Amino acid sequence: MEALSSLGHPVRRRLYQFVAAAGRPIGRDEAAASVGVSRSLAAYHLDKLAAQGLVDTSFERRGDRTGPGAGRPAKLYRRARSEFVLRTSPRDYELFGELLVRAAGEDKTGAVRGTLEGVAYKLGRSLGERAKQERIAAQAELKGVLRLRGYEPFEDEDGALRLRNCPFEAVAKRYPEIVCGLNLRLLEGLLAGLDIRRARASLEPAEDRCCVAITTPS
């Protein structure tokens, strides 16, 4: 509760959003400039976020100089992978998700997994169709829907759409093969529902981001 309530401060919340969206370690100067506050004020709020476990810190010497006289390493901030959820009354959707995934993993026939993947595709398609009907967002449509679902999409240097966050990360860590397969089918269905025919979802696991990437063949 303390960690989440600390985001009630507007400057602190904007700093957290900037660090989270960057997807890389951020220094105090860059963070301060992003929200229009002084370096000392940005450092104060960033350190508060670190104390609450919302961001991780590291130290790195920036620039080409090394050794004595190169100055102290800069303190850098990056969004923590820790998960914070506050609900009332208590709910445990993660446990329910794990039950379904574990059932798929223990079913030797593959029937449960096949059913779940089929349902995931249909659900993704319905989400896409609904977004299209309600005009929720535009390939800005695709990004808008992904953003609403917590994927945090961004384009890499090659133009591929990467997903900085996995909404199912807690369960995916324990059952990556099954969860990534379900996630892939969900996003394939989403593309179909949005009628984006040239884009293709594929599994491209990488550290610190979702296992699915969306590319458009040239």
Q: Tens digit of pLDDT for each residue in 19-51?
A: 998 989 999 999 999 999 999 999 999 999 999
User: Which residues of the chain does CATH 3.30.1380 include?
Assistant: 93-215
pLDDT in tens, 179-210: 999 999 999 999 999 999 889 999 998 888 89
Comparing 3-12, 61-70, 146-155, 199-208, which segment has the lowest mean pLDDT? 61-70
Question: Cα 68 to the chain's mean position, in Å?
Answer: 39
The CA-atom distances, in angstroms, between 107 and each of 68, 103, 128, 176, 204 are: 61, 6, 30, 16, 26
Topology of the domain covering 2-79: Arc Repressor Mutant, subunit A (1.10.10)
Q: How confident is the model at residue 53 (pLDDT cuts 50, 70, 90)?
A: very high
Lookup result for tokens 């080409």: 64
Q: Average pLDDT, stretch 50-64? A: 87
pLDDT of 217 > 90? The answer is: no
90, two tokens:
């208590």
Residue ranges in the chain assigned as alpha helix (H): 2-5, 10-22, 28-35, 39-51, 93-106, 111-134, 140-148, 169-172, 176-193
User: Which residues of the chain does CATH 1.10.10.10 include?
Assistant: 2-79
Q: How confident is the model at residue 102 (pLDDT cuts 50, 70, 90)?
A: very high
Could you give the CA distance from residue 159 to residue 153 in angstroms, rounded to a whole number? 12
Q: Average pLDDT, stretch 71-82? A: 88
Could you give the CA distance from residue 9 to residue 61 in angstroms, rounded to a whole number? 30
Where does 93-215 sit in CATH, by number? 3.30.1380
- Sheet containing strand 161-163, strands side by side: 153-155, 161-163, 212-215, 200-203
Could you give the CA distance from residue 128 to residue 123 in angstroms, rounded to a whole number? 9
